[in-house]
Amino acid sequence: MSNKNNDDLKRQASENTLGLNPVIGLRRKDLLTSARMVLAQAIKQPIHSVKHVAHFGIELKNVMFGKSTLQPESDDRRFNDPAWSQNPLYKRYLQTYLAWRKELHDWIDDSSLSEQDISRGHFVINLMTEAMAPTNSAANPAAVKRFFETGGKSLLDGLSHLAKDLVHNGGMPSQVNMDAFEVGKNLGTSEGAVVFRNDVLELIQYRPITEQVHERPLLVVPPQINKFYVFDLSPDKSLARFCLRNNVQTFIVSWRNPTKAQREWGLSTYIEALKEAVDVVTAITGSKDVNMLGACSGGITCTALLGHYAALGQKKVNALTLLVSVLDTTLDTQVALFVDEQTLEAAKRHSYQAGVLEGRDMAKVFAWMRPNDLIWNYWVNNYLLGNEPPVFDILFWNNDTTRLPAAFHGDLIEMFKNNPLVRANALEVCGTPIDLKQVTADIFSLAGTNDHITPWKSCYKSAQLFGGNVEFVLSSSGHIQSILNPPGNPKARYMTSTDIPACPDQWQENSIKHTDSWWLHWQAWQAERSGDLKPAPTSLGNKKYAAAEAAPGTYVHER
């Protein structure tokens, strides 16, 4: 595979990972119902359908006579091969496909269906038309060229990859060569040790690499559905090492991968475990409180913990950083397209019966939400071109999923349904009601402009729920780059503003644009809230909490 194609796959992976939303509603039953609805509509509105068939016929005539102006969107990289624009047969093949796809979407747009049914219809039509894209067939010019270049070996390799995926990957194209990485060997290699373990988490303390450290430590809380080493993926992309280089005492939580034996673990279970971790961090460092960082569902957990502390009148968290975290669950995105009461109750029932929600099941669902980026790209690469799946650390981590206990999954679904964090005392954890206006810790909230998983405007609204000072930062990236965004990237951009108006568009309009990574801005914000410098500790842990297994610990290896 060429470096360019390899880079494209990696870019698309970066845009579409870290998106395992545990409340995604997408059942086979819902898809079939929507498909039947689309077919029924063709019968209910025959004149409407005939009109669009006739329009398609006219466009088809233009295609045949070379008069069609249809062309793929400028950012659609599937048709970059010159054959699609220069070869008359391929050009007509492509334009016929584009005309057909466009007419189907126009037909559903002009139908008498409700707005929600039209959106669902577009989704079902998109699944069908993208699956039947010319690039996914054996006639793909890149595949034909590859066949002759390799003397037919690419076809045999592709069939071999297909057979392996049918047996070992549930029939889905492999996104990554899982044999190329090993956690603790070439991923998650920063030096540290487990200094505390309970049934729910391991607490890893990283060894300082500077002579002095800030008095107040940082505790990083990852999402429960992904493993923690996204914060220490590789030396050049490690947020942990960035913090250590900037004199921050760094601790990271590694969640246990639950089985059905832990089906009763709920949000309060995770918060009680985090409370223990906070007490251990303060005991080891001698600080009376900590700074925290939470991402995605880890951000929700941190927020609930701060609300719990506020209800108890305790101030154990000085400042909180939220990465791509949505607390106000009023979502209007494709993620919630098929979500309704029935779907959510069915999801709760399914996970309760199984005891857990499997991360790989969520990954499959999410892949079908973005099939071009997460399925058909790899279909072409692995099967039609006969290439090995890419070697990419982000994809390895994204495929190294964990499970969610049924009770916690149910708690997240209830939060999605009832949106309790926007109202005082509507959510109760660990026996205390939560009122985020009572949380006066400083908040740093980060979102991505191209993030389709946790839309930036939802993150912005969520940041306004707190009672303290809020710093909102908007990165010019998607979901994963909002975390893995080290300094030095010439394409990196972010926006800041000293004001937090109610309207996110107004904030964006008045914001200041910056070059380079938001990490640098966050580091300055964090340093102001991390206390004075003191000599770095010479050993990890303390007498009560002695250093045990070396990082990345033991829980990260559980399957």
The residues carrying an active-site annotation are 296
User: Tokens 């008045």, residue?
Assistant: 510
- Could you give the CA distance from residue 537 to residue 546 in angstroms, rounded to a whole number? 13
User: Residue 221's closest CA among 356, 362, 322, 306?
Assistant: 322
Q: H or E segment at 197? A: strand 192-197
- Could you give the CA distance from residue 238 to residue 231 in angstroms, rounded to a whole number? 6
User: Residue 218's closest CA among 287, 157, 300?
Assistant: 287
- Could you give the CA distance from residue 389 to residue 5 in angstroms, rounded to a whole number? 12
User: Residue 216's closest CA among 302, 317, 293, 287?
Assistant: 287
Residues 512, 471 contacting (CB under 8 angstroms): no
Cis amide leading into 501 (omega within 30): no
Per-residue burial over 324-339, b if 16 or more Cβ lie within 10 Å, else e, is: bbbbbbebeebbbbbb
- Could you give the CA distance from residue 395 to residue 181 in angstroms, rounded to a whole number? 10
Angle formed at CA 463 by CA 458 and CA 466, multiple of 5 degrees: 140
